[in-house]
């Protein structure tokens, strides 16, 4: 089909005879239509922009009539029902739709829901953890071995209340596995954004029904087991902030304090603020007509969202970077999966859960804030909980003082002419809101770079001490591994190893105008632009880049997107610069420029300290 400048492209696989569904048609109806209209997938495949636009059509749906009927049915059938709230996102069950799109669970009408089997499994698991005997569990929940037994409590499917969006919270979502391990146990930077659907801040009506031999006491006992499980999270990606459910205020207040469900133990609680490019989820698509190309061009626009999984990914990144400096790569890969969870070689839950509460985004001010909370996982052995707490306390401190989170995390926030008008991001702990005992010991910024150096190295020592418990190796972080991959001008390992250097300098700009770039970033960009036109390969090895090029030295190596080997964090008093492969130019030259400027400036740049490697 030929499109004019008055008719944007259709997102459908086959745009001839495009449907005009009713506003209450579920998203599943769209997908069923796609299957019918796609006799040859290779010829009708959706590109990413059209898929995103198709997902945007969810916003036009109105499922309120069906959802109100379904939730009313639950209330009528149940002997006891209650409402639970999801503070962020949840994804339970589901399947793979056309174009490999991941979907949550939908019923036969295409309405999002949580299957009753999920609740039954959650309550049964809690009962087992509390030591209920197998015979009693079989009597209450039923079983199929050694013979079929029905159980005496019926769990009902749970549907979301329509909510303000009239869709039960059904929204596009995004997963992006930025780092992967290759077959040689080498971490690879390969961003791979995948769009899927989840439910954003839904409220579910959950009902339980008594069987013939079930009394009220047993029903209430099962309800307590279920509530205990729900507050820990259900569905996929629990440890990344998905699936947390809490009892509505009215229902919670109706329970005596001793019966109110409690979450797992808090490891750390840090109020924070982000300023700059922020954390983003999925992208929205706007189509613009390009006169020169005589065609429509997709213009993606990232949607800002405070996402707990972004903090988890950054903690995972810095864990890997520090561990690779002292442990073999294969062992680091195994420990990373053990502590953070993963799906290869088999699924593991990880040793902690992460959540963000009171998350807010101010798009106009380019601000996000909230409270980051790390909790012990229910699956962590008691003997490891102390080490998990020590490791995550230090690792979180290091994350906050080495860079940002979200888009532009490797650069401090600054304003510029052009599009985008803002680049980089500052991750700022709200130090005045951190508990006094924690603030006094770790989170108060020291008076001098030398004192900051001591504090930073104390956190390193705590981190490596806890890491030694998991690795069962006595780690001396002053002696990094010698058998890591040698850094060259154009290759390096993103690891705090013998080739890495970390500096702290006093906060410095050319003048007091906050619009200007911080001094270390200004130096970096000046050197990059000086190299860019004459030697892009060298420039890319200084600052990263997205243009494809080849390194022609001995063997030709093709490089695509390369992340910057330099991180710059802008703190209240200081800037922290982390350089991977710092023993090779052009990165070595960049560091020497910074040190020379700081040492010889009588005004703004009065001193610096080398944090890593450790100097005796």
Would you kindly state where each structural domain of the chain is located, as residue ranges? 51-263, 268-288+296-454, 478-616
Is the predicted pLDDT of residue 497 greater than 50, yes or no?
yes
Q: Which residue has the higher pLDDT, 436 or 408?
A: 408
Q: State pLDDT tens for residues 417-451.
A: 777 788 999 999 998 888 776 655 688 888 889 99
Is the predicted pLDDT of residue 4 greater than 60, yes or no?
no
Calculate ∠ Cα 323-329-334, nearest 5°: 80
CA distance linking residue 575 with residue 322, whole number of Å: 20
Mean pLDDT of 60-76: 92
Span of 313-317, 359-363, 409-413 with lowest mean pLDDT: 359-363
Residue from 587, 443, 413 nearest 516 by CA: 413
Residue from 326, 616, 329 nearest 476 by CA: 326
Q: State pLDDT tens for residues 256-286.
A: 888 888 888 999 999 999 999 999 988 887 7
User: For position 26, what pLDDT does the model report?
Assistant: 72
Which residue(s) pair with 428 in the sheet?
Answer: 273
Length of the chain: 616
User: For position 315, what pLDDT does the model report?
Assistant: 97
Does pTM surpass 0.75?
Answer: yes
User: For position 2, what pLDDT does the model report?
Assistant: 43
User: For position 477, what pLDDT does the model report?
Assistant: 79
Residue with tokens 């590109």: 47
Structure tokens at 610: 């080398």
CA distance linking residue 202 with residue 200, whole number of Å: 6
Q: Which residue has the higher pLDDT, 301 or 585?
A: 585
CA distance linking residue 502 with residue 322, whole number of Å: 12
Mean pLDDT of 9-16: 62
Q: Which residue has the higher pLDDT, 15 or 540?
A: 540
Query: In angstroms, how far is CA 364 from the centroid of its own chain?
Result: 23
pLDDT confidence tier of residue 152, bands split at 50, 70 and 90: very high
Q: Is 118 helix (H, G, I), strand (E, B) or coil?
A: helix
Is the predicted pLDDT of residue 507 greater than 70, yes or no?
no
User: For position 570, what pLDDT does the model report?
Assistant: 94
Q: What's the CA dihedral at 501, 507, 509, 510 to 10 degrees?
A: -90
Residue with tokens 């020291």: 446
CA distance linking residue 119 with residue 616, whole number of Å: 58
Span of 179-193, 221-235, 490-504 with lowest mean pLDDT: 179-193
The count of other CB atoms within 10 Å of the CB of residue 453 is: 21
CA distance linking residue 537 with residue 544, whole number of Å: 9
Q: Is 233 helix (H, G, I), strand (E, B) or coil?
A: coil
Mean pLDDT for the chain?
85
Residue with tokens 């410095």: 508
pLDDT confidence tier of residue 476, bands split at 50, 70 and 90: confident
Which residue(s) pair with 375 in the sheet?
Answer: 266, 353
């Amino acid at each position: 089909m030929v499109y004019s400048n008055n008719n944007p492209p259709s997102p459908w696989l086959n745009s001839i005879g495009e449907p005009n569904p009713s506003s209450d048609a579920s998203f599943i109806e769209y997908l069923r239509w796609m299957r019918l209209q796609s006799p040859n997938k290779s010829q009708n495949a959706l590109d990413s922009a059209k898929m995103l636009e198709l997902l945007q059509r969810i916003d036009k749906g109105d499922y309120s009539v069906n959802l109100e009927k379904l939730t009313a049915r639950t209330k009528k059938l149940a002997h006891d029902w209650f409402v639970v709230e999801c503070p962020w996102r949840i994804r339970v069950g589901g399947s793979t739709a056309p174009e490999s799109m991941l979907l949550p669970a939908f019923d036969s009408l295409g309405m999002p829901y949580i299957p009753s089997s999920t609740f039954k499994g959650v309550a049964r698991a809690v009962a087992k953890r509390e030591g209920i005997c197998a015979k009693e569990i079989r009597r209450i929940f039923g079983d199929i071995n050694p013979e079929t037994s029905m159980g005496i409590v019926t769990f009902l499917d749970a549907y979301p209340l329509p909510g303000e969006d009239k869709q039960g919270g059904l929204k596009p979502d995004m997963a992006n596995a930025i780092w992967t391990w290759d077959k040689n146990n080498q971490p690879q930077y390969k961003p791979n954004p995948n769009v899927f659907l989840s439910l954003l801040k839904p409220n579910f009506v959950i009902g339980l029904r008594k069987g013939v031999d079930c009394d009220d006491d047993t029903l209430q006992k099962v309800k307590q087991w279920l509530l205990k499980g729900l507050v820990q999270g259900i569905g996929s990606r629990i440890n990344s902030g998905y699936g947390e459910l809490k009892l509505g205020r009215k229902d919670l207040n109706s329970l005596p304090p001793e019966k109110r469900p409690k979450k797992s133990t808090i490891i750390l609680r840090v109020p924070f603020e982000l300023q700059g490019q922020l954390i983003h989820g999925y992208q929205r698509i706007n189509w613009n007509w390009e006169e020169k190309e005589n065609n429509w061009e997709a213009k993606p626009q990232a949607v800002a969202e405070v996402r707990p999984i972004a903090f988890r990914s950054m903690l995972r990144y810095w864990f890997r970077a520090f561990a690779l400096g002292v442990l073999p790569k294969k062992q680091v890969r195994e420990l990373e999966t053990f502590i953070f969870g993963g799906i290869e070689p088999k699924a593991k839950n990880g040793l902690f859960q992460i959540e963000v509460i009171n998350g807010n985004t101010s798009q106009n001010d380019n601000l996000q804030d909230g409270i980051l909370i790390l909790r012990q996982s229910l699956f962590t052995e008691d003997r490891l909980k102390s080490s998990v707490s020590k490791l995550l306390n230090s690792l979180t401190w290091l994350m906050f003082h080495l860079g940002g989170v979200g888009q532009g995390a490797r650069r401090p926030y600054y304003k510029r002419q052009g599009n985008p008008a803002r680049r980089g991001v500052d991750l700022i702990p709200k130090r005045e809101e951190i508990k006094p005992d924690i603030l006094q010991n770790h989170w108060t910024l020291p008076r001098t770079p030398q004192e900051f150096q001591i504090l930073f190295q104390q956190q390193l020592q705590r981190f490596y001490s806890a890491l030694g418990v998991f690795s069962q190796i006595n780690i001396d972080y002053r002696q990094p591994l010698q058998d890591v991959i040698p850094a060259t001008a154009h290759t390096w390992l993103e690891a705090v190893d013998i080739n890495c250097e970390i500096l702290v300098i006093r906060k410095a700009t050319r003048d007091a105008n906050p619009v200007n770039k911080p001094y270390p970033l200004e130096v970096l960009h000046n050197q990059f632009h000086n190299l860019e036109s004459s030697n892009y390969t060298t420039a890319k090895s200084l600052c990263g880049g997205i243009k494809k090029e080849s390194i022609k030295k001995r063997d030709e190596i093709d490089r695509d997107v390369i992340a910057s080997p330099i991180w710059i964090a802008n703190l209240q008093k200081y800037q922290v610069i982390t350089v991977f492969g710092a023993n090779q130019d052009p990165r070595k030259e960049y560091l020497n420029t910074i040190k020379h400027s700081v040492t010889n400036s009588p005004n703004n740049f009065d001193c610096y300290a080398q944090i890593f490697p450790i100097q005796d």
